[in-house]
């Protein structure tokens, strides 16, 4: 069973702070990793992808990957109330199989 | 169309009824995925098509669930004899690429409530 673990939260951070969202996965063969943002009542929206160990920055978002530890994280700098949503981690399993999503972490940014 | 569309957006079914959920993918997208998302959970994979071929149906929870994509475009997910545990949002996504690539194009989902 390919598992993806995320802290369900809620994670509450004050406006302007850094939000740190974590994810661990069981499939060592996973090569690609995706972060989705899902607002309440809406569909998931792809916001970041990362394929190599290390950091990848895109605006206020930074994805971090450590394949040896089977760990991927998402940092959101200068958090805004509009960042309040559920963030889903989705590693791409080995064997060209569809994405497996974590349960998501609910982030609340307090103004 | 501009994106993936799904219909109906909301469906209320009495337990035991059959339902059919439709997905219109982005034109030209060969891959189509169905996911089930229960309240407070992440999307759970149901099934995947490449054109009209159903390549993976390992996520379908029971034989009451059936999906088809006969002409390689529109797909229908059918649930027979609905049960309360089938209540969820059913998401469809389409892609030009293989399933290992991040899915960018999700439909708005169909919220199914079984009473």
Give the C-alpha separation, B62 to B58, whole Å.
10
| Residue A95: per-residue pLDDT | 65
Q: Is B102 on the interface with A (CB under 8 A)?
A: yes
| Residue B104 and residue B95 in contact, taking contact as beta carbons nearer than 8 Å | yes
Give the C-alpha separation, B63 to B60, whole Å.
8
Residue keyed to tokens 């940014």: A109
| Residue A55 and residue A31 in contact, taking contact as beta carbons nearer than 8 Å | no
Round the average pLDDT of chain A to a whole number and report it: 93
| Residue A93: per-residue pLDDT | 78
| DSSP assigned state of A81 | G
Could you read off the pLDDT tens digit of each residue along chain B, which spans 115 residues?
579 999 999 999 999 999 999 999 999 999 999 999 999 999 999 999 999 999 999 999 999 999 999 999 999 999 999 999 999 999 999 988 776 677 878 999 999 999 9
Residue keyed to tokens 């034109």: B27
Question: Across the interface, which of A44, A93, A103 has its CB nearest the CB of B41?
Answer: A103
On the question of pLDDT at A2 being above 90, the answer is no
pLDDT band at A31 (very low <50, low <70, confident <90, very high): confident
Interface contact flag, B42 A4, Cβ < 8 Å? yes
Smallest CA-to-CA distance from A88 within B75, B77, B106 is with B106
Residues of chain B with Cβ-Cβ distance to A31 below 8 Å are 100
Question: Across the interface, which of B45, B104, B109 has its CB nearest the CB of A100?
Answer: B45
Give the C-alpha separation, A83 to A32, whole Å.
24
| Residue A102 and residue A87 in contact, taking contact as beta carbons nearer than 8 Å | no
Give the C-alpha separation, A73 to A63, whole Å.
6
| Residue B102: per-residue pLDDT | 74
The pLDDT tens digits of the residues spanning A67-76 come to 999 999 999 9
Burial annotation B32-53 (CB, 10 A radius, 16+ → b, else e)? bbbbbbeeeebbbbbbbbbeee
Residue of B nearest to A48 (CA): B102
Residue keyed to tokens 């598992």: A3
Residues of A with CB under 8 A from a CB of B: 4, 6, 8, 31-32, 34, 42-46, 49, 88, 90, 92-93, 96-104
Mean pLDDT of A77-103: 90
């Amino acid at each position: 069973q390919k598992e993806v673990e995320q802290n369900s939260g809620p994670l509450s951070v004050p406006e302007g702070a850094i939000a740190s969202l974590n994810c661990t996965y069981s499939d060592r063969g996973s090569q690609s990793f995706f972060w989705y943002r899902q607002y309440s009542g809406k569909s998931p929206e792809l916001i970041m992808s990362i394929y190599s160990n290390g950091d990848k920055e895109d605006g206020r978002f930074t994805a971090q990957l450590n394949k040896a530890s089977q760990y991927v994280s998402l940092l959101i700098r200068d958090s805004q109330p509009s960042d309040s949503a559920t963030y889903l981690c989705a590693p791409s399993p080995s064997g060209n199989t569809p994405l497996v999503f974590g349960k998501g972490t609910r982030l609340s940014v307090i103004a | 169309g501009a994106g993936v569309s799904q219909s109906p957006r909301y469906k209320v079914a009495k337990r035991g009824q059959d339902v059919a959920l439709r997905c219109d993918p982005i034109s030209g997208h060969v891959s189509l995925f169905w996911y089930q998302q229960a309240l407070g959970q992440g999307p759970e994979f149901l099934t995947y098509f490449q054109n009209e071929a159903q390549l993976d149906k390992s996520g379908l929870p029971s034989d009451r669930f059936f999906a088809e994509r006969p002409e390689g475009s529109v797909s229908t997910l059918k649930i027979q004899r609905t049960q309360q545990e089938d209540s969820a949002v059913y998401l469809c996504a389409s892609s030009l690429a293989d399933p290992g690539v991040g899915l960018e194009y999700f439909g708005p989902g169909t919220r199914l409530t079984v009473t």
